[in-house]
Amino acid sequence: MQTALDVGIDVASKTVVVACAAGSFATRPVLNERQELRRWLGSLPAGSRVGLEATGGYHQLVVDLAHAAGLTVYVLNARDVKNYAEGVGRRGKTDRVDAEVIARFIAREHDRLHAYVPLSVAQRHLEQLLKRRGRLVATRVALELGWHDVAGIKAELRTLLKAHGRLLRQVDALIAQAVVAMPEVQARARRVRSIPGYGELGSITLAQALSHLPFTSADAFIAHTGLDPRPQDSGARRGRRRLSKRGPAELRRVLHICAMSAAATKVWGPYYQAQRAKGLSGTAALVVLSRKMARTAFAICKQQVDFDPSRLRPMA
């Protein structure tokens, strides 16, 4: 019986470069095509671990095939891999070097990593719609801020923004249709919607995030959102806390917008003002509020109850 291997993959659009931490096979390119990838993955011993960075959509095929083949797959943060490469003294960056660094990283750190959990077809469809909607919103903001004061095109800009608004409404209708086909997400979205500040889109986004991974605690969910503060301390020095920002950027954007709405409500307004009274800036206070709201969403979904403002802890 072959020993399980730790394998690193550097992904590009047409090829992937594969490397083994134990050197059981030579580092080499493999076509990023279904048949070639399936053949190569089939040559790996059972129980092998595979790591790769998320690279747009180019990594998804090998991730799905590796998981289907029964291998343990880790989709890595590119920043982690970069920092690890620098930490072990790698001075150059090539596809070959990247694959070898990833293989080494997986071999030594796999017990600290979270294995890839695939989305269902319906979940992936909803996830793509939510991400693409976020990009549409970013485009609209760029148009409004970048062109509103340019003379001679105001009529055309208004026409474009109206068309953009119609497109957003069509996407929202597609999102609503996708949720109807997912009873679990729909039930969670209804519960999240009972929290003041969470509108329809915010509740769906939170429900989708909570339905994907089996979070064991609210802390784990907050870490997934990237809203967890990281210390910067050394000796007697206490540095400024910064957000890890490790999770999906679109999820954080939606949480921030929901917190902005919640700050004006009777339920959450006192909590927001209490953070400002501590000397926090408006943005920092909204971050604290969005984190509190995310914890609340996690709790009511786990307990399968609607939001009850009387159960909130004192607003401090």
Query: Residues 6 or more apart from 149 whose CB is under 8 A from it?
Result: none
Domain closes at, from 163, 181, 199: 181
Q: Are 5 and 107 in contact (CB under 8 A)?
A: no
Task: Note the pLDDT of residue 139.
Answer: 94
Same domain, 203 and 237: yes
Residues 145 and 159 in one domain: yes
Beta-bridge partners for 19: 8
Pairing of strands 229-230, 15-20: unpaired
Residues whose CB is less than 8 angstroms from the CB of residue 72 and which lie 6 or more positions away in sequence, other chains included:
47, 48, 49, 50, 110, 115
Task: Collapse the DSSP code of 9 into the 3-class scheme (helix H, G, I; strand E, B; otherwise coil) and give the result.
Answer: strand
* 54 within a domain of the structure (yes/no): yes
Packed helices 200-212 and 249-262: angle between N→C axes, nearest 10 degrees? 140
Q: What is the pLDDT of residue 311?
A: 82
Statement to judge: residues 238 and 294 lie in one domain: yes
Task: Please report the pLDDT score of residue 1 as a whole number.
Answer: 53
pLDDT at 234: 76
The reply to whether 190 falls in a domain is yes
Domain C-terminal end among 131, 150, 181:
181
Q: What is the distance between the alpha carbons of residues 14 and 33, in angstroms, rounded to a whole number?
A: 8
Single residue among 112, 133, 153 that ends a domain in this structure? 112
DSSP per-residue codes, 124-193? HHHHHHHHHHHHHHHHHHHHHHHHTT-TT-HHHHHHHHHHHHHHHHHHHHHHHHHHHT-HHHHHHHHHHH
Catalogue the E-assigned strands of 23-88.
28-31, 49-53, 72-76
87 & 167 share domain: no
| Same domain? 218 vs 155 | no
Give a yes or no: residue 1 inside a domain: no
pLDDT digits 0-9 by tens, 29-48: 999 999 999 999 999 999 99
Report the relative pairing of strands 28-31 and 49-53 from DSSP bridges: unpaired
Task: Examine the domain organization and report whether 151 and 195 are in the same domain.
Answer: no
- Give the total number of structural domains in the chain: 3
Same domain, 191 and 161: no
Domain coverage including residue 64: 6-112
Task: Tell me: do 96 and 146 sit in the same domain.
Answer: no
Rounded CA-CA distance 49/187 in Å is 35
* Residue 65 half-sphere exposure toward CB, CA atoms < 13 A: 18
Distant-in-sequence, close-in-space partners of 126: CB < 8 Å, separation ≥ 6 = 175, 178, 179, 182, 185, 204, 208
What is the C-alpha to C-alpha distance for residues 227 and 245, in angstroms, rounded to an integer? 6
Q: Confirm if 220 and 114 have CB atoms less than 8 A apart.
A: no
Asked if 105 contacts 27 with a C-beta cutoff of 8 angstroms, the reply is: no
Q: Are residues 90 and 205 in the same domain?
A: no
Q: Does a structural domain hold residue 140?
A: yes
* One domain, residues 189 and 309: yes
Do 141 and 252 sit in the same domain of this protein?
Answer: no
Question: What pLDDT is stored for residue 316 in this prediction?
Answer: 54
Determine the distance from the C-alpha atom of residue 249 to the mean position of all C-alpha atoms in its chain, rounded to a whole number.
6
| Residue 313: DSSP 8-state | P
Q: Looking at the structure, tell me whether residues 205 and 240 fall in a common domain.
A: yes
The residues facing 234 across adjacent strands are 237
Report yes or no on 37 lying in a domain. Answer: yes
Give the residues of the chain that fall short of pLDDT 70: 1, 314-316
